[in-house]
């Protein structure tokens, strides 16, 4: 019986998909693009004054591009009920209010009375009606359990990064279907994406991201603005 003969053939070398070439170009120009994104946002005197309050108090404020993203998402969600964890001096609150519905109410939580006082002043100088803001002095982890399930359009987490996992766990239930969870400083400017970084903040940021990505009820996206913004929509 004649033995069957196998024909040897060469598999052609697969070319790199076009998106890899595009990604190389994107990464090479990342700093330039991010700089343009941040500097292209024009802030008026109200925002500049709020930033001065932030600087005076040593309170971290969102970058202009991050703020513009907040306003965009609030407008996209037609947000009427928003919770902000970490008030600062009111910069992020002003951006959220700019995008929210005219009858929308911002609930913002902070442990620092000076921060809340500065935010209240910023809101007043911006002409925001007092009925549109609810400023709560207290620990977010004490306040959040008292808020109603599924009653909020947006939850914005912008407080102590070490507590991010706890904030995510406590706040995601508050979102309505289609509501948006936004976590600021999710990348810590890149440190959280470096597994060799094992400081408490980097570890906590990664844990919060993992919690969100493993939650089947959330569809998430990381946007590299500011220190990194993680957005997730509840199904």
What is the tens place of the pLDDT at every residue in 155-172?
999 999 999 999 999 998
What is the tens place of the pLDDT at every residue in 44-102?
999 999 999 999 999 999 999 999 999 999 999 999 999 999 999 999 999 999 999 99
pLDDT (0 to 100) of residue 2: 52
**Percentage of residues in the chain with pLDDT exceeding 90?**
80
Judged against a pLDDT cut of 70, whether residue 6 lies above it is answered with no
Q: Take residue 74 and report the two structure tokens written for it.
A: 């609030």
Averaged pLDDT score across all residues of the chain? 92
Q: Which residues neighbour 179 within 8 Å (Cβ) at sequence distance 6 or greater?
A: 77, 150, 152, 153, 154, 155, 233, 234
pLDDT (0 to 100) of residue 180: 99
User: Going by CATH, does the domain composed of 19-234 fall within 3.40.50.150?
Assistant: yes
pLDDT (0 to 100) of residue 13: 54
Helix runs in 126-222, H state only: 140-143, 164-171, 200-213
pLDDT band at 26 (very low <50, low <70, confident <90, very high): confident
Q: Take residue 73 and report the two structure tokens written for it.
A: 């998402």
Judged against a pLDDT cut of 90, whether residue 204 lies above it is answered with yes
Distances (CA, A) of 15 to 19, 25, 26, 234: 11, 17, 19, 38
DSSP letters spanning 5-44: -PPP-PPPPPPPPHHHHHHHHHHHTHHHHHHHHHHT----
pLDDT (0 to 100) of residue 5: 52
Given a contact cutoff of 8 angstroms between Cβ atoms, the answer to whether 182 and 73 are in contact is yes
What is the value of pTM for the model shown? 0.89
Residue 119 three-state SS:
helix
What span, in angstroms and rounded, lies between the C-alpha atoms of 4 and 62? 71
The full set of domain ranges for the chain reads 19-234
Judged against a pLDDT cut of 60, whether residue 39 lies above it is answered with yes
Of the spans 2-16, 191-205, 209-223, which averages the highest pLDDT?
Answer: 209-223
pLDDT (0 to 100) of residue 9: 45
Q: Among candidates 107, 120, 123, 91, which has minimal Cα distance to 155?
A: 107
What span, in angstroms and rounded, lies between the C-alpha atoms of 73 and 58? 27
Helix runs in 87-177, H state only: 91-99, 113-125, 140-143, 164-171
């Amino acid at each position: 019986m004649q033995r069957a003969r196998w024909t040897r053939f060469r598999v052609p070398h697969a070319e790199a998909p076009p998106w890899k070439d595009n990604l190389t170009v994107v990464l090479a120009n990342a700093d330039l693009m991010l700089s343009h994104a941040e500097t292209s946002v024009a802030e008026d005197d109200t925002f500049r004054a709020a930033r001065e309050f932030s600087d005076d108090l040593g309170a971290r404020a969102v970058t202009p591009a991050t703020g513009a993203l907040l306003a965009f998402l609030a407008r996209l969600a037609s947000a009427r009920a928003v919770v902000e964890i970490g008030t600062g001096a009111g910069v992020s609150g002003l951006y959220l209010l700019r995008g929210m519905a005219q009858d929308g109410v911002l609930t913002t939580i902070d442990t620092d009375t000076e921060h809340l006082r500065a935010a209240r002043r910023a809101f007043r100088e911006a002409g925001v009606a007092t009925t549109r803001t609810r400023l709560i002095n207290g620990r977010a982890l004490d306040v959040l359990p008292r808020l109603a399930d599924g009653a909020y359009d947006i939850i914005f987490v912008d407080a102590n990064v070490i507590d991010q996992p706890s904030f995510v766990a406590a706040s995601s239930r508050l979102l309505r279907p289609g509501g948006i969870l936004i976590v600021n400083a999710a990348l810590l400017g890149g440190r959280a994406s470096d597994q060799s970084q094992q400081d408490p903040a980097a570890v906590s940021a990664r844990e919060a991201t993992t919690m969100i990505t493993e939650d089947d009820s959330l569809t998430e996206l990381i946007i590299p603005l500011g220190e990194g913004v993680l957005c997730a929509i509840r199904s």
